[in-house]
A and B are shown apart, each in its own frame.
Chain A
Amino acid sequence: MSENLSAIFYLISGVLFILALRGLSSPETSRRGNFFGILGMAIAIVVTFLSIGSFSSVFIYVLFFLLIGGSIGAFVAFKIPMTAMPELVAGFHSLVGLAAVFVAISAFLNPEVFNLGSSGDIKISSLIEMSIGAAVGAITFSGSIIAFLKLRGIMSGSPITFKGQHYINLLLGLSIIVLIFYLCKTQSDSIFWRIIAISFLLGLLLIIPIGGADMPVVISMLNSYSGWAAAGIGFTLENTALIITGALVGSSGAILSYIMCKGMNRSFFNVILGGFGGTDQSPSGKSKEQKPVKNGNAEDAAFLMKNASSVIIVPGYGMAVAQAQHALREMVDTLKKNGVKVSYAIHPVAGRMPGHMNVLLAEANVPYDEVFELEEINNDFANCDVAYVIGANDVTNPVAKTDPQSPIYGMPVLDVERCKSVLFVKRSLSPGYAGIDNELFYRDNTLMLFSDAKKMTEDIIKSLN
């Protein structure tokens, strides 16, 4: 196949990828969008085979490895529980990053294949492109591994900080740039390896100071990085499909990070520099816990909700941890049979990744037109009888609106306190991720339901029947 023809096919697959993302603008068109994505990928792979033309014995190996990887991927995709989606996405990011590193390495070792010059005499522009691709890929890889370990709970979610951390990162970043400069001058292997090694280290150090609940930003950011790494490799290989895709993914991840930061009213740098929330408990915490709270049980909750005309459910990460989404849907079905109007309110940073709650509710067969975003539903709380807060905390804290001293001041919150009564399912009175007390717990119209989210919801179902 001629170079020009295959370039046109790569362009077509790039366009199909754009359509794949476009499809996600509504759930109805999304499945067709995913199909476009698969088609684009198939075109890109087949065209690559055809453009090489000579089907040597290596071809069998390529197909073999393709099948191995494909079956692992398919197996994981079918087996993974929806609650583990954040880890899965982090894991996938790490693979893209590592694949970018490997492609860059093989291009560096064997530049003739890609028309980049000969070993030891690679074009300067290609050298810059491939080392940027490799560096960003390596950062994506090791950063995603840390994110994966934190999300999976293998590594503690609390931030790991030490003195001079940011200076070390800055130094590492600068040294990568200096090394790329020297690589262009000397074409030396050892410098290339050093760039990759330092980038791995930088990826680790960038993510360890970021705490568990900031993971939505981290995942989006790594998503973006994996795109830029792909684009860097795309420039090296002079491949349009890869350049288009890299740019799409890069900007997609950047936008998601922006939306997540806005959802927490924090700047991107504030999140990236890390160390927010986590271990440092305020000394005043103990005295506050002696404030009286109203303690309720499943029957009280069932009574309140049964007699309400409208209920709004506010899910959070706790729902995901307790796997309470199915029980929740069942409870809502029972309420609906009793003529109660029920809707769901989702905060942009609820859960551990963008859209986390929506996927879990969808899994439990909650129709997506009953699920609302913060701006759509926030005014409805005032006319609502009961808010059922399950596994959420900081995103409902009215302190964000009233106390300029609070670390979460200015963060958009769900106005659950405007409901006639608030039911809070929580295991204890402990503060949320931000380490601050939620004054909602102590209000007159709040009833605390101390229990596991799933167990409490199941008990409420029993009391309703």
Chain B
Amino acid sequence: MIEIDPFIFRLSIFILSIFIGYYVVWSVTPSLHTPLMSVTNAISSVIIVGAIIASLAGNSENIFDTANIFGFLAIILAAVNIFGGFLVTQRMLQMYKKKKKDK
């Protein structure tokens, strides 16, 4: 039997994740749409994984060669987003309160 190209598996994961995203996001309550945007922002910064590989596995004799520098820059940008995104989401979510029962 001919082996299936691993790309097909990744494509399947991709397509199925779009469907998961579709159903999960429709169930998000409209009042939390702003936190939804900030949290999706934070998680899409998992792109930092690529930046870390680029800079760590690169040329260690010459730390600041061009490919590494782009890796480092990407790490800074993604890190701003990860910390900023999750913390600002946390800050917003803490404000959402229910009516106090007493009174």
Contact = CB atoms under 8 A, between A and B. Distances in A.
Interface string A86-107: 0011001101101110110111
A358 B47 contact: no
A242 B50 contact: yes
B84 A92 contact: yes
A21 B96 contact: no
Contact of A248 (B15, B20, B60, B98): B20
Contact of B37 (A38, A69, A110, A354): A354
A113 B53 contact: yes
A239 B26 contact: no
A224 to B, nearest CB: 9
Contacts of A109: 66-67, 70
Given A37-B86, A77-B84, A68 B54 contact: no
A96 B44 contact: yes
Nearest to A103: B50
Contacts of A72: 76, 79-80, 83-84
Contacts of B83: 69-74, 77
Interface string B62-103: 010011101111111111111111111111111111111000
B32 A21 contact: no
Query: On chain B, which size bracket covers the interface?
Result: 35 or more
B81 A92 contact: yes
User: Which among A18, A69, A239 has the highest number of chain B CB atoms within 10 Å?
Assistant: A69
Contacts of B17: 14, 243-244, 246-248
User: Which among B33, B38, B51, B63 has the highest number of chain A CB atoms within 10 Å?
Assistant: B33
Interface in A237-276: 237-253, 255-256, 259
Nearest to A68: B76
A62 B55 contact: yes
A270 B98 CA distance: 38
User: Which among A106, A110, A353, A355 has the highest number of chain B CB atoms within 10 Å?
Assistant: A106
A96 B47 CA distance: 8
30 contacts: A21-B39, A22-B27, A27-B31, A34-B35, A34-B39, A41-B86, A45-B49, A58-B56, A62-B75, A66-B48, A69-B83, A74-B84, A88-B38, A88-B88, A92-B81, A98-B77, A102-B71, A103-B54, A107-B50, A109-B67, A114-B50, A245-B44, A248-B20, A249-B21, A354-B34, A355-B30, A355-B32, A355-B33, A355-B35, A362-B96
Given A27-B31, A96-B44, A99-B74, 20 more contacts: A13-B46, A22-B24, A27-B98, A34-B39, A57-B60, A57-B63, A62-B55, A62-B75, A66-B76, A77-B85, A105-B67, A110-B59, A110-B67, A114-B53, A227-B40, A230-B47, A238-B10, A245-B46, A346-B31, A367-B99
